[in-house]
Structure 1
Amino acid sequence: MELDAPMPSSAEIEALSRRIDRSIVLVGMMGVGKSTVGRKLANALHFPFVDADEAIEQAAQMTIPEIFEHYGEASFRDGERRVIARLMGESQPKVIATGGGAFCNPETRQLILDRGITVWLDSDIDVLVERVGRKDNRPLLRQGDPREILTRLKAEREPFYSQAPIHVKSGNVPHSHALAAVLKEIDAWL
């Protein structure tokens, strides 16, 4: 879905919130806006927000770059899978922003699809490159040219992301546009 949806009224958002009985899980590439849109979505719905990467860092008592450096990507992905399983097992609906690779794990993907409302936030490569250039905390981008890495990862991961029942494009517009589109698509999906 493109980003032309008007923002629902507060009464419409409140009515939608009452219909949601499970967590909303945002999946997609790094830099697409899962954490920013997720926080706005949680605030609009009056749900708790959890950034899975922050939850992993709390559980490991290390930053994600430190986990990658000391234990490697496989160990990080295992911890990510366990943290997301714990979050999905909690009964209170929440908004969860996952890391870019989380939905590629078959076990994690199935759990999210079975127990959550899965929203794929998507952007083109130019938007992703511009956004990830703002921070230096992405271990996968330290191994070469970010544009080439993002292009490769996007091609590898899209078959997984495309399994999400809700797909919203996030472009070079304010995140409120993506928020409005996500709310509209969740309402239609329910």
Structure 2
Amino acid sequence: MKKTVVLIGFMGCGKSTAGKELAKALKYRFLDTDSYIEDHAKMSVAEIFAQYGEQYFRNLETETVKKLMEIAEETVVSTGGGLPLREENADILKKNGFVVYLRVKGSTVEERLKGDTARPLLQGDNVSGKIADLLEYRDPIYEYGAHMVLDVDEKTVEEIVEDIARNFKMMCEKDQENNNRD
């Protein structure tokens, strides 16, 4: 396995915030797939959704994850919330890195994203219902695509980083032991 940590999870779970701090702690670089797509498309995720639709954006995510995972060594990668929903993407991530699902409750998401207009899937009425429906659908998919599931609601960023770093180190040591046996 490459020395890469991939953070997956629902929007607002803290992938970018924890990812940046984890990268500092590990002395790795940090990559955010949504930012990468926005930089290359020269438009925001919301603009891509509005102009081209969700399917087009999901295709961009797949192209991006293929490119990034080829070069992602000593990197913390924060994915968009929907990226691991495609089985192909989840398989690429799991094969090329230590995937951590940052699990969050709907009430936490709603509180963190209150007033955020940049999330196309949460626009309109009944935001609580949309969050609940999306979480119910996505949770088992995120779990399937992860090496580790970490509940983040009651944790500080420092605690999240510490938990991930400890488990990543153990995974790397185990991987090294297996390689030494071969």
1:171 equivalent among 146, 149, 153 = 153
Residue 12 of structure 1 corresponds to none
Gaps of 5+ in 2: 173-182
Structural mapping, 1:102-181, within 5 Å: 102-163=83-144, 164-181=146-163
State yes or no: 1:68 paired with 2:46.
Answer: no
Following superposition, the deviation at residue 71 of structure 1 comes to 0.2
Matched with 2:78 is: 97
**3-state SS of paired residue (1:77):** helix
Paired with 2:125 and 2:116, the residues of 1 have a C-alpha distance of 15
- Unaligned regions of 5+ residues in structure 1, if any? 1-19
* Superposition deviation, residue 134 in structure 1: 5.0
Q: TM-score, normalised by structure 2?
A: 0.89
Aligned length: 171
1:133 to 1:162, Cα distance in 2 relative to 1, 3 A: same
Q: Cα RMSD over matched residues?
A: 1.4
TM-score, with structure 1 as normaliser: 0.85
* Alignment partner, residue 186 of structure 1: 168
Q: Aligned equivalents of 1:156 and 1:40: distance in 2?
A: 29
SS in 1 for 2:80: coil
Please state how far the C-alpha of 1:173 moved relative to its aligned partner. Answer: 3.9
Displacement over 2 Å in runs of 4+:
187-190
- Cα distance, 1:172 vs. partner? 4.0
Q: Provide closer, same or farther for how the CA distance between residues 43 and 100 of structure 1 changes in structure 2, counting only shifts above 3 A.
A: same
Kept in 1: contact 2:69–2:92 (CA 8 A): yes
**Secondary structure, aligned partner of 2:123:** helix
